[in-house]
Amino acid sequence: MIQQIEASPDEIYDIELEHSLLEANAKLAQENRALLDHHGITAIDVMGAIGSGKTTLITRLVEGLKDQIGVAVFNGDATTSNDADLIASQSVPVVQIATVKGCHLDANLVGKALRKTKLDNLRLIFIENIGNLICPAEFPLGSKARVVVVSVTEGPYMVRKHPHMFLGAQLVVINKIDLAEAMGVSVSELSEDVHRLKPDITVIPTSCKTGAGIDQVNSALLAV
Ligand code: MG
Ligand code: ZN
């Protein structure tokens, strides 16, 4: 079942980041977190560029978890429901968050999605952020952990070009490793780039095609 909410015009924030706006967002993020904590739910914010494989990764992770624990997915997308439809095929609750012109999710929209969701019996909520490696970093949502998904198809410099995304993350997934050789991209060099920015962060290489790394990601997420 897919529910849907949409940003109304007064909720579409400009990319110009005013201090008061970020403060308001941070306060709402704290409220989201308090609500989640009250219900014993861990929310995971999944960030990454368009095409990094966020949706497919979430689908695989859900596949491995849904028989053991209650899982729901909030799917941020500008306008379409393609991704939400794909995830809903896993028979878990999905809320599609259409940001319309917004280029990131914010705590207000996530709060609205939380109010749409039956929180009893949930243990994990995946929040798929908008495909963008810049401003989502500025907007905490109330999640317990932020995951950045970077794919070998994005070339060798994705990590270096977006330090803020990685500095704010608790877990990094290097996705589509089955394509690394064809792309001429080194998984270990991408991993080293991440560790240069944040030495103690966990980096897990994955392939949604072969299933490599999926169980490790789930174990890491259940441990946060
Ligand atoms: Mg997606
Ligand atoms: Zn944005």
Tell me yes or no: is domain 20-222 CATH 3.20.20.70.
Answer: no
pLDDT on residue 11: 65
Dihedral class, residue 156 (left if φ above 0, else alpha if ψ from -120 to 50, else beta) = alpha
Distance 50 CA to ligand 1 centre (A): 7
> What is the rounded CA–CA span in Å between residue 119 and residue 171?
25
* Residue 52 DSSP label: S
Distance 11 CA to ligand 2 centre (A): 12
Distance 138 CA to ligand 2 centre (A): 8
In this structure, which ligand is nearest to the CA of 138? 2
Q: Considering the entire predicted model, what is its pTM?
A: 0.91
> What is the rounded CA–CA span in Å between residue 116 and residue 136?
22
Instruction: Please write the tens of the pLDDT for every residue from 88-125.
Output: 788 899 999 998 888 999 999 999 999 999 999 999 99
With bands split at pLDDT 50, 70 and 90, how would you rate the model's confidence at 210?
Answer: very high
In this structure, which ligand is nearest to the CA of 51? 1
Coil/strand/helix, residue 115: helix
In this structure, which ligand is nearest to the CA of 14? 2
> What is the rounded CA–CA span in Å between residue 155 and residue 191?
13
Residue located via tokens 């103690």:
200
For the cut 90, the answer to whether the pLDDT of residue 213 exceeds it is yes
For the cut 90, the answer to whether the pLDDT of residue 144 exceeds it is yes
In this structure, which ligand is nearest to the CA of 101? 2
Distance 53 CA to ligand 1 centre (A): 7
Give the torsion sign (CA, 136, 138, 144, 145): positive
| CB count in 10 Å sphere of residue 4 | 14
> What is the rounded CA–CA span in Å between residue 44 and residue 71?
11
Name the residue among 192, 187, 131 with its Cα closest to residue 155.
Answer: 187
> What is the rounded CA–CA span in Å between residue 185 and residue 212?
17
> What is the rounded CA–CA span in Å between residue 38 and residue 114?
13
